[in-house]
Amino acid sequence: MIRFYTRVEDAVAATALAVMTVIPLLEIVLRRAAGIGIPGAGPIVQHLVLWVGFLGAAIAAREGKLLSLATGTLVPDGWPRRVTSVAAAALGAAVSTILALAAVEFVRSEYETASSFGAGIPTWMAELVLPVGFTLIALRLAWRASDGWRGRVLAASGLVAGWLIGTHPQWLEGHSAVPGVLLIVLGGALGAPIFAILGGAAVVLFMADGVTPAAILIETYSLSTSPTLAAIPLFTLTGFLLAEGKASERLLRVFRALFGWIPGGTAVVCAVLCSFFTAFTGGSGITILALGGILFPALVKDGYRERFSLGLLTASGSLGLLLPPSLPLMLYGVVAQMPIDNLFIGGILPGLLLTAMIAAWGMREGLVSGAGRQAFAGAEAAAALWAAKWELAMPVVVVGALFSGLATSVEAAALTAAYALFTQSVVHGDLSIRRDLLRVFAECVGLIGGVLVILGVAVGLTSWLVGAQVPMHLVEFTRAHIESRTMFLLALNVFLILVGCLMEIFPAIVVVVPLIVPLGQAYNVHPVHLGIIFIANLELGYLTPLVGLNILLASYRFKRPVLEVARAALPMAGILAIGVLVITYVPWLTLGILGMLGRL
């Protein structure tokens, strides 16, 4: 019975993602063929993001894949880990319960106003996924807290606590929010999901001010239905389809055939391939997990030191975050309310610079270690290029659709996902539509949901910060203590690296960007330049020793101790730090092409 409900849940979530893909494609065809569109297509796709996000978050909770801070892994194994797991789950369940109650209040208010969207669909029906999603998350956090009933019962106390607080808001109203926020931060350090930290902080702060937590859900709904956010799930689907097929093997063959003859050729290939892959997947996690099993043996077989190979792949996982169609750049544009295509253009040279710097270090390693290289063979290069022609054409599809006016960003994302599905299933036959498609879509929705639930509550916290005039006070404080633009940029780099080592890049964008945009304006930093500095620094934060996300992912993927991975990645982190400083203090790298195109 449980398996049946699991399959139904996966099927509903996968169907929502599939419909999100099909509608923009139909829009492109109908607009070109008949000059018409689908009535209400945009709002329908935007509301499907809400369903994909919160059904996906429920799936992520079911599978134990909700994102949490890296600090939880530092708790020793044994009873300390079991105790902290139960405590973290109880906190997450409490916050989820409060948000579920707030979501019921939000949906009830929408029902009473009788608003609609798209082709007359009642808005409250689309919003029903909010209380359902948070309720499922709360129950599953309590259930997965322990393998035994005692631990589960203790974790379920969070459900009771959340219900009591949610139904008695006067308990927090008018009192200091500091103790509650500190408790939530402590729970986050012990391993509570990131969404519970950000959402819990927002709940405490709003309720202390006498404001209902439903205010958080208003902001969640507003973000989820923004016109461009739907592109993020669709590009993530593209990355999953590429990872599930054999695209990485074909691309590896191409780059080895083209660059394998130079010193450090295989290392150069790894940097370039990871950068290419991450540009489409939007996160280093998928790249390290999907390509690590192929690239690490290839490096070792060609004579590269294991320590170097480990560090190279750990660092290369995030290299493509500045290259189009980077999902972090897209989200930055949504949050900062600026043209996404300008960010894409501004990230090209900085992204290529960081990739080239890591590749150059790989060439040095090849010379020092005498790693093997292969002679260039024109026939092999031609054959490899022909075999991978569909994957190599993908950037042309994306960029062409975006900049030719053929498609909006969401439509271009849907076109790219459809292209990836067609090439991996029909052209190459790597994916079976009957056997693999539901699984791939469900896994993708789980990852999307784990991110979107964080973004949904993070925007609520950001709303409180803006309402409390925190950005204005931050500008006043900074200008009173830092007069030089140069020193401001250096301080910004340090701050963002710390943010990047503790927080995943997507929630960091939602929470931090509204705080630093006014600072950038105060110090006359161009908005596009500020965006590229932001992403570059968070990319570097992935390599922070012990708690950087790439360090932990590589430790898991290659089954090596965290300290060993951290030491291996230090040289790469130093190289990328130099690159980040160059990007920061040479704004031409970001703004040069934009100036040539007359976009400044």
**Residue 110, token pair as written in the block:** 């929408």
Give the pLDDT confidence score for residue 15 in this predicted structure.
92
Running DSSP on this structure, what letter comes out for residue 301? H
**Residue 285, token pair as written in the block:** 């996690």
Per mean pLDDT, which range of 57-71, 166-180, 201-215, 449-463 is the poorest? 57-71
**Residue 369, token pair as written in the block:** 């270690």
Categorize the per-residue pLDDT at 37 as very low, low, confident or very high, splitting at 50, 70 and 90: confident
Q: How far is CA 587 from CA 171, 512, 519, in A?
A: 51, 21, 17
One domain for residues 214 and 237:
no
Sign of CA dihedral 261, 262, 264, 267: negative
Give the pLDDT confidence score for residue 72 in this predicted structure.
61
One domain for residues 204 and 246:
no
Nearest to 300 by CA among 364, 371, 373: 371
What string of H, E and C letters represents the secondary structure of 339-370? CHHHHHHHHHHHHHHHHHHHHHHHHHHHHHHC
One domain for residues 251 and 114:
no
Give the pLDDT confidence score for residue 589 in this predicted structure.
95
What is the rounded CA–CA span in Å between residue 311 and residue 292?
Answer: 12
One domain for residues 218 and 332:
no
Domain end (from 203, 224, 245): 224
Long-range CB pairs of 437-442, under 8 A, 24+ apart, other chains included: 437/14, 438/10, 438/11, 438/14, 439/10, 440/240, 440/241, 440/244, 441/10, 441/13, 441/14, 441/17, 441/18, 441/237, 442/10, 442/13, 442/14, 442/59
Categorize the per-residue pLDDT at 400 as very low, low, confident or very high, splitting at 50, 70 and 90: confident
Give the pLDDT confidence score for residue 118 in this predicted structure.
75
The percent of residues in the chain predicted with pLDDT above 90, rounded, is 40
Categorize the per-residue pLDDT at 545 as very low, low, confident or very high, splitting at 50, 70 and 90: low
Per mean pLDDT, which range of 28-32, 287-291, 338-342, 595-599 is the poorest? 287-291
One domain for residues 239 and 109:
no
Q: Which of the given ranges, 39-43, 317-321, 529-533, has the highest pLDDT on average?
A: 529-533
The CA R_g of the chain, rounded to the nearest whole Å, is 24
CA 415 from centre of chain: 20
One domain for residues 398 and 499:
yes
What is the rounded CA–CA span in Å between residue 232 and residue 414?
Answer: 10
Phi, psi of 117 (to 5 degrees): -145, 170
One domain for residues 370 and 436:
yes
CA 375 from centre of chain: 39
Categorize the per-residue pLDDT at 182 as very low, low, confident or very high, splitting at 50, 70 and 90: very high
Domain end (from 191, 224, 257): 224
What is the rounded CA–CA span in Å between residue 55 and residue 448?
Answer: 10
Give the pLDDT confidence score for residue 286 in this predicted structure.
66
Looking at residues 383-403, what average pLDDT do you find?
86
Looking at residues 442-456, what average pLDDT do you find?
87
One domain for residues 81 and 137:
yes
Residue 74 has pLDDT above 70, yes or no: no
Q: Which of the given ranges, 57-71, 495-509, 518-532, has the highest pLDDT on average?
A: 518-532
Q: Count up the domains in the chain and report the number.
A: 2
Categorize the per-residue pLDDT at 368 as very low, low, confident or very high, splitting at 50, 70 and 90: confident
Provide the b/e sequence for 525-544 (b: ≥16 CB within 10 Å).
Answer: bbbbbbbbbbbbbbbbbbbb
Per mean pLDDT, which range of 384-388, 476-480, 523-527 is the poorest? 476-480
Residue 104 has pLDDT above 60, yes or no: yes
Give the pLDDT confidence score for residue 97 in this predicted structure.
97
For 257-315, what is each residue's pLDDT tens digit? 888 888 888 888 888 888 888 887 665 566 776 777 788 888 888 888 889 999 898 88
One domain for residues 478 and 461:
yes
For 493-513, what is each residue's pLDDT tens digit? 988 888 877 777 778 888 889
Give the pLDDT confidence score for residue 507 in this predicted structure.
81
Alpha helix positions (H), 114-177: 123-127, 129-143, 149-167
For 184-209, what is each residue's pLDDT tens digit? 989 888 888 889 999 999 999 999 99
What is the rounded CA–CA span in Å between residue 371 and residue 368?
Answer: 8
Categorize the per-residue pLDDT at 527 as very low, low, confident or very high, splitting at 50, 70 and 90: very high
Sign of CA dihedral 158, 159, 160, 162: positive
One domain for residues 141 and 236:
no
Give the pLDDT confidence score for residue 89 in this predicted structure.
93
Sign of CA dihedral 163, 225, 199, 239: positive
**Residue 89, token pair as written in the block:** 């789950």
Domain end (from 207, 224, 241): 224
Domain that residue 429 falls in: 231-596
Categorize the per-residue pLDDT at 70 as very low, low, confident or very high, splitting at 50, 70 and 90: low
Residue 47 has pLDDT above 60, yes or no: yes
Running DSSP on this structure, what letter comes out for residue 76? P
**Residue 54, token pair as written in the block:** 């919160």
Categorize the per-residue pLDDT at 547 as very low, low, confident or very high, splitting at 50, 70 and 90: low
One domain for residues 537 and 557:
yes
One domain for residues 213 and 236:
no
Give the pLDDT confidence score for residue 553 in this predicted structure.
72
Looking at residues 355-360, what average pLDDT do you find?
93
Cis peptide before 325 (omega within 30 of 0): yes
Residue 247 has pLDDT above 90, yes or no: no
Give the mean pLDDT of the chain.
87
Residue 156 has pLDDT above 60, yes or no: yes
Provide the b/e sequence for 83-107 (b: ≥16 CB within 10 Å).
Answer: ebbbbbbbbbbbbbbbbbbbbbebb
